[in-house]
Structures are given as structure tokens and as C-alpha cells.
Structure 1
Amino acid sequence: MVQSFPSSQAGLNEAYVALGSNLGDREQTLRQAIEQLSAREGIRVERMSDIYETDPVGYTDQPAFLNMAVAVRTTLTPDDLLTALLDIEQQLGRVRDIRWGPRTVDLDLLLYEDVSMDTERLTLPHPRMMERAFVLVPLCDVLTKTHPLRAAAEQSATSACQDGKEGIKRWITIY
């Protein structure tokens, strides 16, 4: 089946990407990931969140993470954008040996316009993003004020932070 994707602005579709790192120079790795993302043909970084330091979730015997989110405009399909993200991870030394374990960098495609899809390779919207303050807090920084998920994301992020479910604190403002 051929799937078409919305085109909101001269062939550019809006997507949101979460970035995380907990090995090596975490902040520098996030900056390199953004530089590589910006250098890709068909991808333009529009907005960047602050960087937040967060406690690990799932596998907790590891260093704290730095997390952030970016809003991008892209001509790529969701699957091609995912391929670009995985390629950047590999270039920055990502090794996948422990599920939710330590990593130099993690790039997750959270949202792509209003696309809903569930394939073996990609599920959109990201299936666990609304459960994770380390994703929601930075995502709220870059969601447009009119984005349909903004209110729910803000409410979930506020609830998780107030209940102390996830340790999260602002690390640095990078713009």
C-alpha cells in the first residue's frame, strides 16, 4: 500500500525528535547530533528545547542522561527520517547492547505531522512518549502553542514532575 504524507509548507512536514545521551561528553554529543541533523539534506532544525538532566528509567544502574527535543521541517518520509536518525546515532558511536541501557546518543522520532502508523520498524506517535517526563518536558519547549498534543503533554509532564516519578532538572538553555 502506498502511504501519502501531509505537506504543510512547501513540501516541508513538521516532525519532533527526542535526543538523549548519558555517556562521554553528553552535552557535546547532543550538539553534534543537532549539527548532523541540520546538515542532512531534506531536514531543517526549526526549534530546540533546553537541555535537561534526568534520572535513568528502566535500567537504572547507569549515569544520568541529558535530554532535549527538536522540532524539524523535513521533506523526508517518516521512514526515511528514522533512517537518518539511526545513521546519526551510529556515526556518534551508539551501541545497542542493553535495552534502555547507557548510550552515547539516542534519537527518537516522536511525532510526524498528524501521521499515525504502526509498522515493524516505526510507530507514530511514539508509543511511550506520554509516559515519560524526560521526553515530555523538552517536547513542551518545542511544540507550537496550537499543537493538538500540547495541553496533554504539559499536563502529563507537570504531573510526572510534581509526583516525583522522574528526576528531571534544567541543565542548560542552548539558544
Structure 2
Amino acid sequence: MSRAVLSIGSNLGDRLAHLRSVVDGFGGRVVAVSPVYTTAPWGGVEQDDYLNAIVVVEDPELDRADWLRLGQQLEQAADRVREVRWGARTLDVDVIWCAERVDGALVVCRSDDPTLTLPHPQAHRRAFVLIPWLDVESDATLEVDGHTEAITDLLDELSADERAGVHRTELSLLPAAEGSAL
């Protein structure tokens, strides 16, 4: 069994439909979905603003590599093109955090593999990840440089400009009857 936190974003095409395709694609594995936020692009490449959200998924049969593989399949289905680092994209699905069951206990995954580094090495610097994550897991923690820190503390360490660039919208990735968490 594994549980993963996925950061999803889109700034090309029907941004909301691209984000909804992730929730639909993971289906019954989705345990929580944050509200949708609009954010300025991160990384210095001139482009339109993003819609971002967090999706928490869980499955007894999947591991960290499966979450990455499934996320990349959804990106491909949305015609994601990887030409410019931090450039515009139809859909981005990042595995931010993952835990797997080992001997009955849920153990946080750590990986230095360049294909899937866990926890995500830049998540603690990105308000567009931390703010929506807090919406679905208010007590979430993240390991940074060998130390486990509360997401709230990591968010407090970010500049006011970084935090101010993340704006909650009225958009939802779930049908109205379902609300913000499953």
C-alpha cells in the first residue's frame, strides 16, 4: 500500500479540464483534492499563469514508481510537451511525497534517483505546493535536508511575495456535491 501527494498544474489549453483529468484518471484512488489556485509561473520563463491543486492518492497495489508512471501517462494524454525547463505546459503531475507500507507501518519514501527524487527537492520552496497541501492535510510534514518540518513552518519561511502569488479560486476539481475532500 502506498499513499502519495501529487501537485498538479496547467497553464495551456483548458487548464481546468486538464486538472480534472487527473482526478478522473486516478478515480477511486483519490482520497483528497484541494481547492484550485491560480499562481504566477515559477522558474523565470515568461508564460501565462497556472491553475494548481494538490491531489492525495492511495492504493494497496501501487508504489512510488507507479504514481510517477500514472502521472506521466496523464501528462501524455493531455499532450504534454517537454521543451523548456519550467516552461508552459498543458499538464504537470509531480509526485511530492510518498509513503509505502513496510511491515505494517507506513514509511515515508526517500529517493535520490534523478527520475523520481523523494521527497520532491523543491516542494519546500513552492507556495503553490504548500498552500493547497495544507487545505487537505493541515498537519502535513515534509523532510528537508534530513529534518522533518511542518508544512506550516515551511510556508512561514517563504517570502511574502511567494505566498502572495498563490490565489484561491472558486473552481473545483470535484462535482459540486462532493466538496473539497472525498
Residue of structure 2 in register with 1:32 after alignment: 21
Residue of structure 1 in register with 2:89 after alignment: 103
Residue of structure 2 in register with 1:4 after alignment: none
Residue of structure 1 in register with 2:161 after alignment: 164
- Paired with 1:164 and 1:148, the residues of 2 have a C-alpha distance of 22
Residue of structure 2 in register with 1:57 after alignment: 42
How many residues are matched? 158
1:93 aligns to 2:79 (yes or no) = yes
TM-score (norm 2): 0.80
Deviation at 1:115, TM superposition (A): 0.8
Q: Which moved more, 1:63-72 or 1:149-158?
A: 149-158
Q: Which amino acid aligns with 2:155?
A: A
- Within 5 Å, give how 1:5-20 maps onto structure 2: 12-20=1-9
Residue of structure 2 in register with 1:154 after alignment: 152
Match of 2:57, SS?
A: strand
Are the structure 2 counterparts of residues 87 and 112 from structure 1 closer, same or farther at C-alpha, using a change threshold of 3 Å? same
1:45 aligns to 2:30 (yes or no) = yes
Deviation at 1:120, TM superposition (A): 2.8
Deviation at 1:112, TM superposition (A): 0.6
Residue of structure 1 in register with 2:175 after alignment: none
| 2:41–2:48 contact (8 Å) kept in structure 1 | yes
Q: Which amino acid aligns with 1:122?
A: L
1:124 aligns to 2:113 (yes or no) = no
Are the structure 2 counterparts of residues 76 and 123 from structure 1 closer, same or farther at C-alpha, using a change threshold of 3 Å? same
Match of 1:172, SS?
A: coil
Deviation at 1:107, TM superposition (A): 0.1
Are the structure 2 counterparts of residues 151 and 121 from structure 1 closer, same or farther at C-alpha, using a change threshold of 3 Å? closer
Identity of aligned residues (%): 35
Runs of 4+ in structure 1 deviating by more than 6 angstroms, as ranges, are none
- Paired with 1:93 and 1:33, the residues of 2 have a C-alpha distance of 13
- Paired with 1:65 and 1:49, the residues of 2 have a C-alpha distance of 15
Q: 1:83 aligns with which of 44, 66, 69?
A: 69
Deviation at 1:148, TM superposition (A): 3.7
